[in-house]
Amino acid sequence: MNILKDDDDIKKYMEEFGHLPNCYPLINEKMGNRIGSKKIRQRWLNSLNPRLCNDRFNDNERSFINEWVEEYKIRNPSSRSISLKEIIPVMEEKFGKLRSENQVKNFWHTQQRKKGRNTSQGPSGINHDISYSHDISYSPQYNNRDPKMEISHLIN
């Protein structure tokens, strides 16, 4: 399998058949079924489409994604997942830049991991904060200790 040849073929066939509603299976067939139609779609939408903007998200785009997801959660309260691919055409219209599904997904999941670390919550949203007082005299097992048994007393 030659990835560069496959990429060139995908680009060539997307120019020819990309306007069709279900072009990926057709392109797969034209390529001799070397790679699956899902893989063709993934390569096109995340890497090969020449319209893709690969710049970092600016502050407005980052804020927009976060706000859009919050609104999505309100509109779809029973949904266990967020359909991030729905935001791509909205962002393209608003910002004039086509972003890949992976860019949006990776940004969102990175934000969630950072948020989880900053709030001591794991991915499930359960608070995993196990902080405790570092003052050992607070602990009952140390309240009635014999000072003669302290390390500092034994060393000196």
Position 148 scores a pLDDT of 53
What's the one-letter identity of residue 74? I
Instruction: Name the pTM for this structure.
Output: 0.65
What's the one-letter identity of residue 147? P
The pLDDT tens digits for 135-150 are 333 334 444 555 555 5
Q: How would DSSP label each residue in 27-85?
A: HHHHTTTSS-HHHHHHHIIIII-TTB--SPP-HHHHHHHHHHHHHHHHH-TT-SS--GG
pLDDT bracket for residue 132 (50, 70, 90): very low
| End-to-end CA, the chain | 73
